[in-house]
Amino acid sequence: MPRSLSPAVVTALSILELLGASQELGVTELARTLGMAKSSVHRLLHTLAHKGYIEKNPQTGRYRLTYQLFAVAAAAAGRYGLKEVAAPVMERLAAEAGESANLGVLEADRVLNIHKVQGPHPIRLHIDAPGGVAAYATGLGKVLLAGLASEELERRLGGGRLARLTPTTITTRRALLVELRRVRTQGYAVDNEECSAGVRAVAAPVCDRSGSVVAAVSVAGPTHRLTDARLKALAPAARAAAAEISRRLGYAPGVDASYPT
C-alpha cells in the first residue's frame, strides 16, 4: 500500500464493500477476510456504526449496511448528471400528464426517488423517504428489478419474505417473477396501489449507453384519476420520456438493451 494512503480509511472502505456484497457479516468473518485482528475490525465497525453507515442486527449480532450510504450515492447521482439530464424531460412529462413525474434508482432491494416534478395536485409517496421503499412494491422498482439478471435479482431480494404494504402488494416470489416477465414484455410497469393506498403509477426504464437499465421514470397520481384506462393511455408518454432520457445518456436503438425497445 502506498505510504500516502491511510490504512484505516482503506480498511473502512473495504468493510463497506464487503458488506455491500453480502446481506450481513460478523466481526470474525470480516477479520478473517481482511487478515486483521478482531479488535481492530471491531473499532472500525463501531466508527462506521457511529457515523450511521452500518448497523448491528440485534437478532444475529452481525453487521449490515444502512441506507445512509445509499442516500449519499443518490446525491452523487444527481451531481453526475442523471437528474440534470432527466429534469427537462420530466417537466414536460408532468405537464403533459397533469400528474407528478418521478425518477428512481435501485439501491440494494429498495428504490430511491432521486428527482420529482410535482404535478398540479401534489401527492406524497413512500419512495420520497430518504431510505426509499421495497422495490417490488413500486412501478419504478419493478422496472428496475426487471432489468436484472436472475442471479442478481435473487441476491437483491435476499431470503426474506415480501412484506405486505397494502392490500394489493405482491407478496410471493412466484407472483413477482410473473409480474417482472410482464414488465419486460410490455416495456413498462404499473403500481396498482401496491406501495401507497390510493396512489397508482406507470413507470418505464431508462438505459445508459451500454443498454443497461440504470433508472426508471414514472407518472403517479391518485387512484380516482389514474384509472385503468388512464394508466394505459399514459404508458406511451412514460415510455417516450424514458427513451428520451436514455438517448441523452448515450443509449441508441440497436444496442443490446436489457428489455426496452
Q: What is the pLDDT of residues 61-79, one digit of tens each?
A: 999 988 777 667 666 655 5
Q: Determine contact, residues 61/38, Cβ cutoff 8 Å.
A: no
Q: Residue type for 260, please?
A: P
Residue 198: CB atoms within 10 A of its CB come to 11
For strand 100-107 and strand 110-117, is the pairing parallel, antiparallel, or unpaired?
Answer: antiparallel
**Average pLDDT of the residues in 174-179:** 94
**The predicted structure's pLDDT at residue 256:** 46
Distance CA 121, CA 156 (A): 34
Q: Determine contact, residues 223/202, Cβ cutoff 8 Å.
A: no
- pLDDT tens sequence across 198-212: 999 999 999 988 888
**The predicted structure's pLDDT at residue 5:** 81
Bigger pLDDT: 78 vs 171 = 171
**The predicted structure's pLDDT at residue 76:** 60
Per-residue pLDDT for 260 more than 70?
no
**Average pLDDT of the residues in 169-193:** 95
Extract the C-alpha cell encoding 151.
Answer: 442471479
Q: In angstroms, how far is CA 109 from the centroid of its own chain?
A: 7
Distance CA 151, CA 193 (A): 28
Query: Could you give all domains of the chain from N- to C-terminal order, each with its CATH number?
Result: 7-66 (1.10.10.10), 70-248 (3.30.450.40)
Q: Which of 143, 151, 154 shows the shortest CA–CA distance to 191?
A: 143
**Average pLDDT of the residues in 182-206:** 95
Longest dimension (CA), the chain: 64
- Measured over the CA atoms of residue 140, residue 144, residue 150 and residue 153, the dihedral's sign is negative
**Average pLDDT of the residues in 92-113:** 92
Burial of 171 (0-12, 13-18, 19+ CB in 10 A): middle
**The predicted structure's pLDDT at residue 73:** 66
Q: Determine contact, residues 238/202, Cβ cutoff 8 Å.
A: yes
Q: Is 81 left (phi over 0), alpha (psi -120 to 50) or beta?
A: left
Per-residue pLDDT for 156 more than 60?
yes
pTM of the model: 0.69
Phi first, then psi: what are they for 238, rounded to 5°? -65, -40
CA distances from 233 to 8, 103, 155, 227 (A): 55, 20, 34, 10
DSSP state of 25: B
CA distances from 237 to 96, 231, 252 (A): 8, 10, 19
Per-residue pLDDT for 127 more than 60?
no
Residue 254 pLDDT grade (very low, low, confident, very high; cuts 50, 70, 90): low
Beta-carbon contacts of 40 under 8 Å, excluding residues fewer than 6 positions away, are 11, 31
